[in-house]
Amino acid sequence: MKGFGMIELNKVGWLEKPVPTITAMDALVKPLAVSPCTSDVHTVWESSVPRKNLILGHEAIVEVVEVGALVKDFKPGDKCILPAITPYWEKVESQMGYHQHSGGMLMGCQYSNFRDGAFGEFFQVIQADGNLALLPEGVSLEDGVMVSDMVPTGFHGADNAEISYGETVAVIGIGPVGLMAVAGANLRGAARIFAVGSREICQKVSKLYGATDLINYKNGDVVGQIKDATHGKPVDKVIIAGGTLEAFEWAMKLVRPAGIISNVNYLATGEYIKINRVDWGLGMGHIKLTGGLMPGGRKNMEYLANLLAYKKLDVNPLITHRFQGFDKIPDALMLMKDKPRDLIKPVVII
């Protein structure tokens, strides 16, 4: 079979590999729709891990081709959402409530990391009963793909920020993840949502998801612009979904005592995050800084897909570029790398 992936650091291409073999709890699947991700781009062009001959892709709607003898709930022909995070559910970390780190830090993230992924003609899903979710009726392939990673990652930012009714939230970075953080904050009851970003299409879509104030960092100091709008008051919560490490310095200046800064941005470059001791209340401000990889697995996919099925969340405005055919995967990935200003997310319908 063939798949598109990284040949080595900074080099992508088509790879020829055997069809993966599965064990009793796994499924063999083929992609019906995929979306390349900024983290695929990080893996190839910004990583220090020298991966070789790895088929990329972790956001997909798949069709089950074959299941192992112990798989109970899925059968060949089922159309399923693939979670970007597919942990081993029996690991100690999973039992601790952090399946994202089953087997070690970030090891629940298998695709685009150490397991061949969704840009292959076929690929393996481990522990299928725990890691696949049926695509609900009435949800399109292209919308469904957004549930793999964009919705759960953005919503995880809002969840970790523990947003409640009436709060004021700043979301720094409004690419697809940041836009879903805006939507998640809105669904959790935030009243005022500052969306910090510069691209016109993202600003426009952020309004659809509940942003009340648009802040463009190209118009000057982000902290100053937000503090002007709030008459100097801090915000309750800050979600970081993009930008540079400087975003943490802004967040510390923006958040109230006992507020929460919640990061879901993949920090691909840079060394240290600076925390100003005064902004941090001399170390006694009860300000919480957290960051987490999205929750994967079946239950999370099923619940988030329900939001689409029952029209509580429309992810379609995220999809700005559409491709048809397996051989268009490289075009979609390069688009994600080049990030033209009218791009939010591309989808390839296989």
Q: Kindly indicate which of the ranges 18-26, 29-37, 100-108, 287-295 contains the residues binding Zn ion, using the contact rule CB under 5 A.
A: 29-37
**Is 259 strand, coil or helix?**
strand
DSSP per residue, 187-228 = HTT-SEEEEE---HHHHHHHHHTT--EEE-GGGS-HHHHHHH
Residue closer to Zn ion, measured from CB, 143 or 149: 149
Which of the stretches 61-69, 148-156, 273-281, 282-290 binds Zn ion when contact is defined by CB under 5 A? Answer: 148-156
CB of 229 to Zn ion, least distance (A): 32
149 touching Zn ion, by CB under 5 A: yes
Given the complex with Zn ion, which of 256 and 328 has the nearer CB atom? 328
Q: Which residue has the tokens 């509940």?
A: 210
- Select 39 or 124, whichever has its Cβ closest to Zn ion: 39
Q: Report the nearest approach of Zn ion to the CB of residue 92 (Å).
A: 26
Structure tokens at 302: 């099923």
* Half-sphere exposure at residue 168, Cβ-oriented, CA atoms within 13 angstroms: 14
Site for Zn ion in 43-62 (CB under 5 A): 59
CA distance 103 to 91: 6
- Of 22, 25, 29, 37, the residue at the interface with Zn ion (CB under 5 A) is 37
The stretch near Zn ion (CB under 5 A) out of 34-42, 183-191, 224-232, 299-307 is 34-42
- Mask of contacts with Zn ion, 55-94, x by CB under 5 A? ----x-----------------------------------
Shortest separation between residue 37's beta carbon and Zn ion, angstroms:
3
Q: How far is the CB of 22 from Zn ion (least distance, A)?
A: 23
Do 193 and 174 contact (CB within 8 A), yes or no? no
Which two structure tokens, joined as six digits, stand for 211?
């942003």
What 196-201 contacts at long range (C-beta under 8 Å, 24+ apart), as own/partner pairs, is: 196/170, 196/171, 196/172, 196/222, 196/226, 196/243, 197/173, 197/242, 199/174, 199/341, 200/341, 201/320, 201/341, 201/342, 201/343, 201/344
Complete DSSP assignment for 45-113: II-SS---SEE----EEEEEEEE-TT--S--TT-EEEEPS----TTSHHHHTT-GGGTTSTTTT--BTT
Could you tell me the smallest distance in angstroms from the CB atom of residue 101 to Zn ion? 17
If one counts every other C-beta atom within 10 angstroms of the C-beta of residue 84, the result is: 27
Smallest distance from Zn ion to CB 38, Å: 7
* Footprint (CB under 5 A) of Zn ion, residues 181-220: none
Cβ contact 103:39 at 8 Å:
no
- d(C-alpha 86, C-alpha 90), whole Å: 12
Q: By CB under 5 A, is residue 179 in contact with Zn ion? A: no
* β-sheet bridge partners, residue 5: 13, 55
- Strand bridging mode 54-55 / 133-134: unpaired
Q: Identify which of residues 36 and 259 has a Cβ nearer to Zn ion in the complex.
A: 36
**Site residue total, Zn ion (CB under 5 A):** 4
Residues 239-268 that bind Zn ion (CB under 5 A): none
Nearer to Zn ion, 59 or 116 (CB): 59
Task: Report the nearest approach of Zn ion to the CB of residue 165 (Å).
Answer: 30
User: Which residue sits closest to Zn ion, CB atoms considered?
Assistant: 37
- Count Cβ atoms below 10 Å from residue 250 Cβ, excluding itself: 22
Query: Is-contact 184 159, C-beta < 8 A?
Result: yes
Closest contact distance (angstroms) between CB of 136 and Zn ion is 21
Identify which range of 32-40, 192-200, 214-222, 282-290 contacts Zn ion by CB under 5 A.
Answer: 32-40
Which range binds Zn ion by CB under 5 A, 144-152, 261-269, 317-325, 339-347?
Answer: 144-152
Nearest approach in angstroms of CB 148 to Zn ion is 7
Residues near Zn ion, by CB under 5 A:
37, 39, 59, 149
